[in-house]
A and B are shown apart, each in its own frame.
Chain A
Amino acid sequence: MSSVLYDAQGPRAKRRNILYTAVFSVAALALLWWVISTLNDKGQLEWMLWKPFFTGTEAWSTYIWPGLENTLKAAALSMVIALPLGAALGIARLSDHAWVRMPASAVVEFFRAIPVLVLMIFGQALFAEYTDVSSDDRPLYAVVTGLVLYNASVLAEIVRAGILSLPRGQSEAAQAIGLRKGQVMRLILLPQAVTAMLPAIVSQLVVIVKDTALGGAVLTFPELLSSANTMSGYYGANVIASFTVVAVIYIVINFSLTSFASWLEGRLRRGKKSTGAVVGAGAVAELAAPGEHEDLQKAT
């Protein structure tokens, strides 16, 4: 699309583009110069502060790996618990019976409207007050609880969108050969829907990984972000270095997940064996917000 917006460049347009490039470079370089000189003034570029990450394994084995492990553990646990819950809620929202559909809808709309952090704080206090989970385990429990409550309702919408994305002929054909409602869902719709919504599920994993950082900042959960904090205390206030390393790790993980999701999506869209139905990575942002969405209305 973008190439449609402007003509093939003639001499004047080329000159103008060179001018824009020059102006933009100067602005960018000025900003870069300001950042580097400020960092230098504050002594943040000293090799001493960056050394722990490039020589020796202490910083990695003591701080980064354990933190990363906790981040991934919380994310994996939340996904594994939230998936079946979300599937159940999503299928319940498609039920023919109002008394099944309405409560499921209410739960899904409610938890999508509330920030994950509020759910985590609630989980933390809940485990402290009503259970005997030790205070060491509590942050993990709280983070997973918050993530499960929120993501189950988002996944419910992804599942619903996945099922609704299948061509109507699939369920009609299944009914025509005499399958019961449960069988249509279990044998025909769900297996195809799972494939269709894989890209959306992988993108939701990115959201979950990012949200685990809340646990580190607010609930003393020892994950990757909080290990950046600990490190900058231990290695002589190397805030910039620690944050850079941690941010790069997050970027690498999430960028690979995002790329994997769009590769999956492309494969499914091009695939000839399936119906070509797919809930794309782009749909996730929409399904995460409360309210009924257009894609779903069109399909019903």
Chain B
Amino acid sequence: MFDFLEDYDLLGAFWTTVQLALLSAVGSLIWGTLLAGMRVGPVPLMRGFGTAYVNIVRNIPLTVIILFTSLGLYQTLNVSLGADGVVETLNFRLSVLGLIAYTSAFVCEALRSGINTVPVGQAEAARAIGLSFGQVLRLVVLPQAFRASVGPLTNVLIALTKNTTVAAAIGVAEAATLMKKMIENEAQLLLISAVIALGFVILTLPTGLILGWVGKKVAVKR
């Protein structure tokens, strides 16, 4: 019954999914932190940019963004991200770019909710001993905010893992693409769906459980 699975690179497809998720997670964590810094900072122009970015990107479907990286960025504007015309590499990099652009808006909001949990007195005390905005953020507020953000960031990471399937829209060979191909070729709809679903359950449930536990461990007790 499971024989046909040997004809397909199931592990390879899920490995692509994991790679998409991990690379995008790192990228969006960096870009999202910068955005959060801009949104809470003293420079009005950067604050405006951060707010505009988050509100625009959050309200566009991820599918539109990823499709645009391929049709708009690559095919129309010829941004090829150093992929030298290798289609697989190109589409993979384009979807990572799209996922980062989209997910960082949510990372920014998760961090901001974390910053809001830090008591006002912490920042006030930091200012009172003469720290600058950058120091207040770097030495006092962000270390506590990150610890409080583990929960919300976990939810962003899980949503990101599920969102990697959108890369199927530009033909990245990840789990959903493989599922479509398998369903077209084999008459095993329920079995195929169950296997793919199980794969995602294995990816997302432990992430939630482990990081949920970590989140509780590191949270600042108040």
Contacts and interface: CB of A to CB of B under 8 A. Distances in A.
Check if A and B associate: yes
A251 B56 contact: yes
Nearest to A21: B45
Interface stretch (A91-99, A174-182, A285-293): A285-293
A14 B39 CA distance: 18
A113 B159 contact: no
B155 A286 contact: yes
A1 B120 contact: yes
A118 B68 contact: no
Contacts of A6: 41-42, 127, 132-133, 136
B72 A118 contact: no
Interface string B192-210: 0100110011001100110
Contacts of B77: 38-39, 42, 44
Interface string B17-43: 000000000000000000000011111
A289 B166 contact: no
A116 B162 CA distance: 8
Interface residues of A, number: 66
B96 interface: no
Contacts, number: 187
A50 to B, nearest CB: 14
A20 B180 contact: no
Given A206-B59, A210-B61, A243 B155 contact: no
B67 interface: yes
B60 A251 contact: yes
The 3 closest A-B pairs by CB, nearest first: A291-B208, A254-B59, A213-B61
27 contacts: A2-B47, A5-B41, A5-B141, A6-B127, A13-B42, A21-B45, A113-B205, A114-B200, A114-B201, A117-B166, A118-B165, A118-B200, A210-B61, A210-B62, A225-B67, A229-B71, A232-B71, A239-B71, A240-B76, A243-B67, A250-B60, A250-B61, A251-B56, A254-B58, A285-B152, A290-B205, A291-B209
Interface of A: 1-2, 4-7, 9, 13, 17, 20-21, 24-25, 28, 38-39, 42, 44, 109-110, 113-118, 121-122, 125-126, 129, 206, 209-214, 216-218, 225, 228-229, 232, 237, 239-240, 243, 246-247, 250-251, 253-255, 258, 282, 285-286, 288-292, 294
